[in-house]
Amino acid sequence: MDGIVYIGSNDNKVYALDAATGTPHWTYTTGGGVYSASPAVMDGIVYIGSSDRKVYALDAATGTPTGHTPPAAGFARRRRS
């Protein structure tokens, strides 16, 4: 969506914010932190990974989940030093 910024946070949430005002349009809570993932938006779907080892697919306009992928084989969880 034009004028919307999608970000993840370590509070386990994905946020859709108005780019000009910062006003939230929607939030979605994942099963883990979303602190090192950059979302991709394609055909009205926001794709973003979470530390719960899933990739979420969220409707860009509403934040409604359209699905998620199961944990990938060999997915390495980075540990903080």
The pLDDT confidence band at residue 67, using thresholds 50, 70 and 90, is confident
Among residues 45, 58, 79, 43, which one has the least CA distance to residue 13? Answer: 58
Among residues 32, 40, 33, which one has the least CA distance to residue 60? Answer: 40
CB neighbours of residue 68 within 10 Å: 17
Tens-place pLDDT, residues 33-59: 998 778 999 889 999 999 988 889 999
Helix (H) or strand (E) holding 57: strand 55-59
- Token code pair at residue 49: 């990974």
Cα separation, 76 vs 31, in Å, equals 17
